[in-house]
Every structure is written in structure tokens, then in C-alpha cells.
């Protein structure tokens, strides 16, 4: 077993006490590697290593920590192609998207390295009696990180960069589908000179037990999780006993509103970018397309033409727009969602389902006449299926858009500035793309409301997630 297939704990590359597990290539279903499967003892070992490293890492100057994160950033940039090929290999996403994921992930490393040196407290106005109040910003401590398979690099970078810059240390559990990119990232951190124990990477298949340990262990002071709302609920319940700090980036059900006064070409392009990113497998993918009746027919006609032009193929194939879905289970789920939607009255006007028996490729599919009663309305599709509903007035559009438990991303297309502001203010979501289908950025706070989670990643808010504010009251000064 090579180093890049092992767990990385306390600066050591270790085989798994539970043996190993297979990672497959979604394009072919073939095994590409066997990776260490850690035991709970090894999770504890990683927590101890992170806890030990915390004492010295937190005491470095902010600039020294920033230099460490920047050195990691440089390594990621130097290995851009290698990382992208690894992402494509284990997640199936097209190589162009994988390259842009490396750039996206790296942007968090740079941005938070730069932000970390500015993360200070405040001196506040003098209190009665001459007391002087001030605040310190201190690192939270050891952070448990659980990341999903849809962005094997960027989701780690988005959590690790602010945590490290703030002075925290990490125990990272990557998704079992995509541990190889995470391991390469850990190796680059080692090469960049990040001290042993600052980053620990624990691949494993016993996700429930590892998650519980990261929620309940006394030495872990925070958990940051990106994944499904169902798992988020379990982690939150497990964290209640010790009031664990949490960042939860959970599922979305993004509405994509197209108003009569929208630029239709821009709206179609925005939808293609949002809906088909990673073959529809992101939490911020447009999920319910709401189209005002006056432009409905012309919008759908343009959309169909554009969808029919999308190319399916293995991610490594240059020019592929859509790769395979991540697993057999994922494609079976999408097939079943489409089937249920059709039974409930939706009409399929484009698409041919799964492409090739046993494959994980699903053709771009258009479902019209979807109503809020249709089961697909309340599901995060996570596949290349466009579900469309017409609406009449602006008010109807907003009501339909907000008719869900989720509150992560939303999108609206309109050339009326006043309407865009009005509607954006009325949408119950953490993020609103206005005439834009791709909204994620290291500089901006990414996150949701309602059942889509807690906390923000990116921007100053993303830094605050890893800092405690301590209030000092200085008396006797005169
Ligand atoms: C996600 O799907 O959870 C993340 C998407 C993004 O960062 O743009």
C-alpha cells in the first residue's frame, strides 16, 4: 500500500486497523485503489495528535500560520493538474470542472491565509468606574471535519483554511467515495511544512461511529460538516450533550425564478451552469425551475436546444459536459425520482434516462408540469434533471420559491432592478444569485437558513466560525 492510500495521523502514514476499502472510478465502476479503513482507536489517536499540536500551533504568530497556509496553497497550485486528474478519477466530474475545483479550493487557502492576519479583537469604550473592556479572538481548538464526495478538494480547503489560519488543528474524515484527493492534499500539506498533528486525515467506512466520536469527544471543540440534512440532524442531536460548536452545510432545494422581463439567453445559460455543474450533484444546483407564464414557451424552447447540445462522457474526455453520477445507488435514486414524478403528473419532454445498461450516466432530462404536490418538488434531485413549474404573478413566484423546508441557494433572473431587489429580499434563503447561476466564492459567506444548516463558510463570517470571542474587563486602571 503506498503512502497516498494510508491514513495520515500525527505526521505518520498508517495502515487502517479495520483493513482497507475500495475506491472506484464512477466512469467504469472499476476499482482504482484500496485505502486504509481507520478504527475508532485511530480516530482517537488522530484527536490526541491534533490536541497536542494545537498547543504549539495556536501560539505561533498569525503571520507564521498564514505563511504555512500559503505554502500549502503554493503546493496545491504546483500540483493543479495532478489534483484535478485525481478528482476526475474518483468523483467522475469532467476534467475542466475538476481544474476549476482546484482553483476554487486553492482560493480559500489564499484568502484565509490573508484574512487570518487581520483576525483581531477590539478595544471598547471605557465603562463606568474607569473599567476598560476589550475582546480577544482565540482559536476554538481541535476541529472535526466531515466532507462530501462532490467537491473532494474544495470542501476540505473551505474548512481547513480558516481553521488553520485561526490557530485550530484538524481531524478530517473525507467521504469514502473520494479519499484519494484528500490524501494527496494531506501529502501536499506535509510537503509544505505544516507541523505533524496540525492536519490529520482519517479515511474510513464506519461513518456513523466516526461522526459520533467527532461530536462527543471531549477534546474536539467544533465539528464542521457538509452533507445531507438527514445526517446533519443526527450530528446535531449527538452534539447536544456537550453543546459542541457546529457548522452545518446541508441540503438545498434551490428555486430558479425566471421572470417575464428576464434576458432569456442569460437565464438559460445561468440555468445550464447552475443545474448541470457536476452533473447536478451540488447542494446549490437549481432544483425547482419557476418560469413566468408570459415567456414560458420561448424559455423552454431555448432550454431544450441548449440541453440537447450537452455532451455526456467520462470526465477525462476533453469536451465532456456531464460525467457519470457518483455511484450505482445515486443513479438508481435519480431514476426512481423521475419515475415517481411522472406517476404524479409531470411530463417528460426531453431525456432518455440512464444511458447504457448498468452505466452511471443519466441523460439531461426535462420534466414539465411539476406541481408542489409532486414528490420531486421536495427532494434535492442531485442529478441532471430539470424540474419546471410555471407561475403567474411575482407574488406567486415568491410563494412557490419559499414553499420548502430548505433555505440554501436561490436564483432569480429579471432585468428590472426594483423587482430583483424586491424578490431577493423576499426569498427565504441564505444566498441569492441575481442574473447569475454560479455564486460560490472564497470572499463571500456561503451557507443556508432553515433546514439547510448553520454557519457560513467563506468571507469574514467563515473565519469567525473558528474563533471564540473572549471579553476582558480591566479594572483598577484609574
Ligand atoms: C456544495 O455543493 O456543497 C458546495 C457547492 C459550492 O461550493 O459551490
* Strand pairing report for 347-350 and 365-368: antiparallel
Residue 478: predicted pLDDT: 81
Is any ligand 1 atom within 6 A of the Cβ of residue 104? no
Q: Are 362 and 252 in contact (CB under 8 A)?
A: no
pLDDT for residue 161 is more than 90: yes
Can you tell me the distance from the alpha carbon of 36 to that of 205, in angstroms, rounded to the nearest whole number? 9
The three three-digit cell numbers of residue 244, written as one number = 459542541
CB contact set of 476 (below 8 Å; sequence gap of 6+)? none
Our answer to whether residue 249 is catalytic in this structure is yes
User: For residue range 237-266, what is the model confidence (pLDDT) as tens digits?
Assistant: 999 999 999 999 999 999 999 999 999 999
Task: Let me know the angle formed at the C-alpha of 316 by 312 and 319, rounded to the nearest 5 degrees.
Answer: 50
Q: What φ, ψ does residue 30 adopt, rounded to 5°?
A: -80, 150
User: For residue range 396-433, what is the model confidence (pLDDT) as tens digits?
Assistant: 999 999 999 999 999 999 999 999 999 999 999 999 99
For 90-97, what is the mean pLDDT? 98
Residue whose Cα lies nearest atom 8 of ligand 1: it is: 440
User: CB atoms < 10 A from the CB of 448, how many?
Assistant: 27
Can you tell me the distance from the alpha carbon of 330 to that of 242, in angstroms, rounded to the nearest whole number? 34
Residues of the chain with CATH 3.40.605.10: 3-250+451-473
Residue 1: predicted pLDDT: 76
Q: Are 7 and 202 in contact (CB under 8 A)?
A: yes
Can you tell me the distance from the alpha carbon of 89 to that of 472, in angstroms, rounded to the nearest whole number? 51
**Nearest to residue 200, comparing CAs of 215, 213, 211, 189?**
189
Is any ligand 1 atom within 6 A of the Cβ of residue 163? no
Can you tell me the distance from the alpha carbon of 272 to that of 382, in angstroms, rounded to the nearest whole number? 14
* Strand pairing report for 199-201 and 169-173: parallel
Residues of the chain with CATH 3.40.309.10: 254-442
- CATH topology for 3-250+451-473 is Aldehyde Dehydrogenase; Chain A, domain 1 (3.40.605)
CATH of domain 254-442: 3.40.309.10
Closest atom of ligand 1 relative to the 278 alpha carbon: 2
**Nearest to residue 447, comparing CAs of 251, 306, 267?**
251
pLDDT band for 79, please (50, 70, 90 cuts). Answer: very high
For 135-146, what is the mean pLDDT? 98
Closest atom of ligand 1 relative to the 249 alpha carbon: 3
Q: Are 171 and 46 in contact (CB under 8 A)?
A: yes
CB contact set of 279 (below 8 Å; sequence gap of 6+)? 92, 93, 322, 323, 324, 325, 362, 383, 384
Which residue out of 104, 275, 284 has the highest number of ligand 1 atoms within 8 Å of its CB and is therefore the one to mutate? 284
**Nearest to residue 448, comparing CAs of 405, 408, 418?**
408
**Nearest to residue 141, comparing CAs of 55, 203, 80?**
55
Is any ligand 1 atom within 6 A of the Cβ of residue 287? no
Task: Let me know the angle formed at the C-alpha of 77 by 70 and 436, rounded to the nearest 5 degrees.
Answer: 95
Residue 2: predicted pLDDT: 87
User: For residue range 30-71, what is the model confidence (pLDDT) as tens digits?
Assistant: 999 999 999 999 999 999 999 999 999 999 999 999 999 999
**Nearest to residue 253, comparing CAs of 450, 426, 454?**
450
* Catalytic residue selected from 283, 285, 368, 380: 283
Residue whose Cα lies nearest atom 7 of ligand 1: it is: 440
Q: pTM for this one? A: 0.97
User: For residue range 317-374, what is the model confidence (pLDDT) as tens digits?
Assistant: 989 999 999 999 999 999 999 999 999 999 999 999 999 889 999 999 999 999 999 9
Can you tell me the distance from the alpha carbon of 280 to that of 287, in angstroms, rounded to the nearest whole number? 9
Can you tell me the distance from the alpha carbon of 433 to that of 410, in angstroms, rounded to the nearest whole number? 6
User: For residue range 222-241, what is the model confidence (pLDDT) as tens digits?
Assistant: 999 999 999 999 999 999 99
- The radius of gyration of the chain's CA atoms, rounded to the nearest angstrom, is 23
Our answer to whether residue 187 is catalytic in this structure is no
Q: Is 212 exposed, middle or buried (0-12, 13-18, 19+ CB in 10 A)?
A: middle
Residue 3: predicted pLDDT: 84
Amino acid at each position: 500500500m503506498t503512502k497516498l492510500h494510508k491514513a495520515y495521523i500525527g505526521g505518520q502514514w498508517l495502515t487502517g486497523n479495520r483493513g482497507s476499502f475500495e475506491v472506484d472510478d464512477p466512469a467504469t465502476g472499476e476499482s482504482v485503489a484500496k485505502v486504509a479503513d481507520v478504527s475508532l482507536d485511530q480516530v482517537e489517536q488522530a484527536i490526541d495528535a491534533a490536541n497536542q499540536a494545537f498547543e504549539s500551533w495556536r501560539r505561533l504568530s498569525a503571520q507564521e500560520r498564514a505563511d504555512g497556509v500559503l505554502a500549502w496553497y503554493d503546493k496545491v497550485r504546483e500540483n493543479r493538474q495532478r489534483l484535478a486528474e485525481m478528482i476526475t478519477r474518483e468523483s467522475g466530474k469532467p476534467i475542466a470542472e475538476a481544474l476549476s475545483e482546484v482553483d476554487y479550493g486553492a482560493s480559500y487557502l489564499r484568502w484565509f491565509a490573508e484574512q487570518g492576519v487581520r483576525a483581531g479583537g477590539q478595544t471598547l469604550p471605557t465603562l463606568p468606574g474607569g473599567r476598560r473592556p476589550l475582546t480577544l479572538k482565540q482559536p476554538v481548538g481541535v476541529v472535526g471535519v466531515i466532507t462530501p464526495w462532490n467537491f473532494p478538494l474544495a470542501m476540505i480547503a473551505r474548512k481547513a483554511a480558516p481553521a488553520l489560519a485561526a490557530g485550530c488543528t484538524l481531524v478530517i474524515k473525507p467521504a469514502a467515495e473520494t479519499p484519494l484527493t484528500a490524501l494527496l492534499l494531506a501529502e501536499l500539506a506535509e510537503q509544505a511544512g505544516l507541523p505533524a498533528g496540525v492536519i490529520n486525515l482519517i479515511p474510513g467506512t464506519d461513518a456513523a461511529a466516526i461522526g459520533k466520536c467527532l461530536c462527543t469527544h471531549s477534546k474536539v471543540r467544533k465539528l464542521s460538516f457538509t452533507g445531507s440534512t438527514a445526517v446533519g440532524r443526527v450530528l446535531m442531536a449527538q452534539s447536544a450533550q456537550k453543546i459542541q460548536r457546529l457548522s452545518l452545510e446541508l441540503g438545498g432545494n434551490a428555486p430558479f425564478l425566471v421572470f417575464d422581463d428576464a434576458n432569456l439567453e442569460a437565464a438559460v445559460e445561468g440555468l445550464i451552469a447552475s443545474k448541470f455543474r457536476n452533473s447536478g450533484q451540488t447542494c446549490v444546483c437549481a432544483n425547482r425551475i419557476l418560469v413566468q407564464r408570459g415567456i414560458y414557451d420561448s424559455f423552454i424552447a431555448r432550454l431544450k436546444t441548449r440541453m440537447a447540445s450537452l455532451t455526456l462522457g467520462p470526465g477525462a474526455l476533453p469536451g465532456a459536459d456531464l460525467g457519470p453520477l457518483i455511484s450505482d445507488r445515486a443513479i438508481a435514486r435519480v431514476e426512481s425520482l423521475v419515475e415517481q414524478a411522472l406517476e404524479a403528473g409531470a411530463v417528460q419532454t426531453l431525456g432518455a434516462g440512464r444511458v447504457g445498461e448498468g452505466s452511471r450516466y443519466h441523460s439531461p432530462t426535462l420534466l414539465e408540469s411539476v406541481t408542489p404536490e409532486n414528490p420531486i418538488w421536495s427532494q434535492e434531485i442531485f442529478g441532471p434533471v430539470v424540474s419546471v413549474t410555471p407561475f403567474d404573478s411575482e407574488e406567486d413566484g415568491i410563494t412557490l420559491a419559499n414553499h420548502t423546508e430548505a433555505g440554501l441557494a436561490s436564483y432569480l433572473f429579471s432585468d428590472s432592478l426594483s423587482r430583483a431587489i424586491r424578490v431577493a429580499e423576499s426569498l427565504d434563503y441564505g444566498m441569492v444569485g441575481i442574473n447569475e447561476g454560479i455564486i460560490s466564492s472564497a470572499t463571500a459567506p456561503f451557507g443556508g437558513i432553515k433546514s439547510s444548516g448553520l454557519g457560513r463558510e467563506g468571507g469574514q463570517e467563515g473565519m469567525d466560525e473558528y474563533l471564540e470571542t473572549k471579553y476582558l474587563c480591566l479594572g483598577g486602571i484609574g
